Structure 1
Amino acid sequence: MIDSVKNYLASKSFLLMAVIVIGSVSGIGYTIIKLDRDSHLASVKRDVENGLYATAEQVQQRFFETVLTAKRIENILSISGGAVDTQVVNIVTKLQKDSPTIVAVALAPGLEVTHSFPLSDDETAIGLKYWQVPEQMASVARAYRGQSAVVDGPLSLLGGEMGYILRYPVFLPLPDRDRDRFWGIISIAIRADSLFSSERHDFGDASKYLFELNEIPASGVPVATAGNGNQSWRFEPVVVDFSMLGNRWQALARPTAGWPSYSPQSSYLVAFSLFSAVVLLVVLSAYRRLALKKDDAHALLAEAVGCISEGFIAFDDKERLMIVNQKYLDYHANIADLVVPGMTMDELVRIAATHQAAPFVPEDREAWIADRMENFRNPGESFLQQISDDLWLKVTEAKTPHGYTVGIWTDVSAEKHAQGVAEAADREKTDFLNNVSHELRTPLTVIFGRATFMRNSERLPQSKKLTKAISADGPPTPAVTTAINKYQDFISEQGAGIADSAQHMIRLVEDLLDWTKVARGKLELDMQLLQLDELAASVVEDLQPNAEAKGLDLSYAGDSSAEAMADKVRLKQILYNLINNAIKFTDKGSIHLEMTRENGQIVFNVTDTGHGISEENLERVFQRFQQVDGSMSRKSGGLGLGLAISEQLAALHGGTLSLTSKIGRGSTFTLKMPSSERADQGSEGAGQTSITIENVA
């Protein structure tokens, strides 16, 4: 029943967490999408606003140029006394040719149109009296009263298209009066769509933008707004105010379809939000499955522990009791009611020391507790613990990788009783073995000590006495001498074989020790100024016998003045390893050690004519316990530590060790290390020294 309630609550909690996760991700996603939309919308509006400013400047420039043309016409009329002559016609014709956006130009002296250009299109306008057309007379009156140009529009032109008309009042000077005489009006009509196209925005294209250019009346309230009257945010226009010909104008624009509801990235953000929700649900589901598995595993563990026929107890990394089975409680019946999960090991040990038969006098109680806790915190071998007179338990404790401590308590009372029976007989056997060991130890020690003399058997006093005794009656026969020499050689060869094997083992052990020191950073160098030429030559001389044994030529060439701060023993070790490696893997040909100075560095090159190494194995040779042939049956023995140690020693000297090689053509190991200041300041033309020891085989 309790398990069913727990499972029910767990499933409800999971559903609640899933709802919270989906709601949180949805809220965060919506907020991010809205912020992205608002940012994109603001960017689009700024772009349209910049376009409106550009368009406003363009409109101002267009009407300013038109006013200048009207002024030129006024000047000609002033000269001609108000008569429209060919100069005026030429100016108007040129204006319309240079500005195709100008629909018509009308001259109306006395407010009656007498000339209209082009004549072929606007002959119907001739004779028009402005005072008879109220919708046009208003702007004409404003131009007259203000004695300055005004722009009227937007309005429908004669051709049916929308446009704007510049009304320019003409005042001609009177010779005999102080003020000018009103001549009439120059009207210049311009198509609206030609005014509103800019480099980035074509506000004249109704399929893209809804655009309006209106004059702000004296009341300050615009006469119209772009759009269809819908005041939602998607249809609110961008508004730009500007001045033109002494009046305030307002440009309004918005996309025909309204402002974008989402940014181009919205689909990706929605997809990311959905993906995040799915991922979180998957993670939550996986976590729930893990929790269920953990509960199942815990239940399985508890049941399995309960079925163990031995006592089992486990503590966490804080030494708190986690699990204990019934068998353990049966073994400790006197304190079973006091053993509860969560208590510490120290509390349990003190309870056991107080309530159970203890293997100590009361004065030793604290010492026993401290010893028991030490064994618990640092478990080692199993030990016995007496619970009562007839109950002995073997305690086996161990630490888990996570710091937990588990203990197995096994009843060994029967074995303990049998042990008591066998101890008496065992004592007699033990005494006998002790005596035998004592008697054998002395002769074995003597045998080991004398075996060390076998390598040089001819130097043993007994060998010398034997030779002297044989020679007492005269020189021995050749057969006797040969037999004695062969006997001594045999003994020496056996000793030499033992010594060589021991030397090989010592070398392997030294490599292991060196590698351990290098890996742990415990290797210290004894740095001193060294004459490298002498050191390198001595290494070549020492290894010459090894090269001769394989029929190889080992040679050396170096710089006699080269010096460097280095550890003599370790530098020789590097060179020994490189040359020995070359000898090991070269069957015929030669090995050459060369030392040079390059760019403030000492460079050692060990070149052989051996097997060579493939490119993919060049780095492998410097790895510990590695050889190109890694099989157990490889031709050359060794642990594969020599080159790895050499590379580390080179690094400790501030240098590098590298390899170049070609299959079938040999290899070159290059050791580079800093030269000393003394060597860098050496005189030019320093002498070169070389050693070449040819193979005599």
Structure 2
Amino acid sequence: MKNRGLEIILIVLSTLLFLLTSWVFINNANVALFVILVIVIGLFVTTITLVTRQKKVTAQQADEIATLQQEIVKQRDEEATMLANVSHEMRTPLTTITGLAEGLQYGVMEGNEQRSYDLIKEEADRLTRLVRSVLSLERMRQGNAGDQAENFNVTSLISELIEKMWPQANKFGNEIQNLCEPDVYVYAVVDQVERILINILANAIQFTKNGIITVSAKDVAGKTHLFVTDTGIGMTAEQIDRMWQRYYKVDPSRTIKGESGLGMSIVRELIKANNGEIKVTSKVDVGTTFEVVLPQKSS
């Protein structure tokens, strides 16, 4: 509102200057007086212009500072939430390990020693996966993944992954179908694309029972589209929105023991790091489709 007022003053002064100039030429008025008036009005115009410009710069800086402060607060909240979640996730395995170790120490696990050692190993592995996931997510968030992109055949990679994950799918009574077009290529980091697909396939397997999971890859308008579709429990729109949050688990009762809930957060960061995008469509009790779009050449 103040800037608008200054603009009006500038218009008035400019108009006045024009009128004075016209008056001098028409009436042959005193040139010295005219020069003085022009200088005075010019100073006014210059001063108001500078003030207006400075106000705009100050307002812009204030907006930038406010945005920066919001980012700092957001980052601080995220770090606090992450610390709380990590602490929560670590508490269960640490409590289990401590309890089993004390049981073995005081001889109360007699006859179940081997099972106790197995449980300790499982919980230690769970902690290891959690720490690796957290470190990996943080490196990606800071842009320090360090791997190099290359052009590779994603169809071959998918065939290998399906073969590796077939036993896990079998445990849930699921069938994995490979519907990929032959020799589809992407330009990305091989290990990261493999991790993306493993996470998505693992989710499809977990949340599908006695169903079908299809994987396909195709070239669409110069980009590679990867699809993973299942006939599982599906998700609501709210669950899809929350799925990308760290440590969120769509259905904790059906999540494989030891999973941290960081999988989809990592997937999104990896896709972003490879200049791609991901889309999810789902319907409860019908199934879910993940679509990953990746470039075929360096951008």
TM-score (norm 1): 0.26
Which residue number corresponds to residue 542 of structure 1?
Answer: 164
2:205 aligned to 574, 578, 583, which one? 583
2:293 aligned to 647, 672, 677, which one? 672
Q: Deviations over 1:293-312 (max 9, x none)?
A: xxxxxxxxxxxxxxxxxxxx
- Mapping 1:145-160, distance limit 5 Å: none
Confirm whether residue 645 of structure 1 aligns to residue 266 of structure 2. yes
Confirm whether residue 624 of structure 1 aligns to residue 246 of structure 2. yes
Q: Deviations over 1:507-565 (max 9, x none)?
A: 22211111111122222222223221121111111111111111111222212311222
Within 2, Cα distance between the matches of 1:597 and 1:493?
50
8 Å Cα contact 2:207/2:254 also seen in 1 = no
Q: Which amino acid aligns with 1:611?
A: I
Within 1, Cα distance between the matches of 2:119 and 2:236?
36
Confirm whether residue 532 of structure 1 aligns to residue 138 of structure 2. no
1:605 aligned to 227, 247, 251, which one? 227
The verdict on how the C-alpha distance between 1:616 and 1:491 changes in structure 2, with shifts beyond 3 A counting, is closer
2:123 aligned to 486, 489, 501, which one? 501
Structure ranking higher in strand proportion: 1
2:279 aligned to 658, 668, 676, which one? 658
Confirm whether residue 594 of structure 1 aligns to residue 180 of structure 2. no
| 1:496 CA drift (Å) | 4.5
Within 2, Cα distance between the matches of 1:559 and 1:676?
18
Which residue number corresponds to residue 574 of structure 1?
Answer: 196
Structure ranking higher in helix proportion: 2
| 1:499 CA drift (Å) | 3.6
The verdict on how the C-alpha distance between 1:496 and 1:533 changes in structure 2, with shifts beyond 3 A counting, is farther
Q: Which amino acid aligns with 1:585?
A: F
The verdict on how the C-alpha distance between 1:563 and 1:514 changes in structure 2, with shifts beyond 3 A counting, is same
- Mapping 1:393-412, distance limit 5 Å: none
Within 1, Cα distance between the matches of 2:113 and 2:181?
46
Within 1, Cα distance between the matches of 2:191 and 2:113?
35
Within 2, Cα distance between the matches of 1:674 and 1:611?
31
Segments of structure 1 that go 5 or more residues without pairing to the other structure are 1-27, 40-447, 449-486, 678-697
The verdict on how the C-alpha distance between 1:643 and 1:660 changes in structure 2, with shifts beyond 3 A counting, is same
TM-score (norm 2): 0.58
Number of residue-to-residue matches in the alignment: 192
- Mapping 1:214-229, distance limit 5 Å: none
Q: Which amino acid aligns with 2:268?
A: E
Within 1, Cα distance between the matches of 2:178 and 2:118?
31
Q: Deviations over 1:34-53 (max 9, x none)?
A: x99xx9xxxxxxxxxxxxxx
Which residue number corresponds to residue 137 of structure 2?
Answer: 515
Which residue number corresponds to residue 83 of structure 2?
Answer: none
1:614 aligned to 233, 236, 256, which one? 236
Within 1, Cα distance between the matches of 2:159 and 2:173?
20
8 Å Cα contact 2:218/2:225 also seen in 1 = yes
Q: Which amino acid aligns with 2:283?
A: K
CA RMSD of aligned residues (A): 2.9
Segments of structure 2 that go 5 or more residues without pairing to the other structure are 13-100, 102-110
| 1:603 CA drift (Å) | 1.1
Q: Deviations over 1:391-423 (max 9, x none)?
A: xxxxxxxxxxxxxxxxxxxxxxxxxxxxxxxxx
- Mapping 1:411-422, distance limit 5 Å: none
Within 1, Cα distance between the matches of 2:178 and 2:142?
35
Q: Which amino acid aligns with 2:289?
A: T
| 1:495 CA drift (Å) | 5.0
| 1:571 CA drift (Å) | 1.0
| 1:494 CA drift (Å) | 5.5
Within 1, Cα distance between the matches of 2:253 and 2:283?
20
Within 2, Cα distance between the matches of 1:494 and 1:560?
48
Which protein has greater RCO, CA pairs closer than 8 Å, 6+ apart? 2
The verdict on how the C-alpha distance between 1:509 and 1:668 changes in structure 2, with shifts beyond 3 A counting, is same
| 1:491 CA drift (Å) | 7.3
Q: Deviations over 1:585-625 (max 9, x none)?
A: 22331211111111111111111111111123322211222
Which residue number corresponds to residue 70 of structure 1?
Answer: none
| 1:648 CA drift (Å) | 1.0
Q: Which amino acid aligns with 1:674?
A: P
Runs (4+) off by over 6 Å: none
Within 2, Cα distance between the matches of 1:586 and 1:614?
16
Q: Which amino acid aligns with 2:227?
A: N
Give 1 or 2 for the bigger CA radius of gyration: 1
- Specify the SS of the correspondent of 2:179: strand
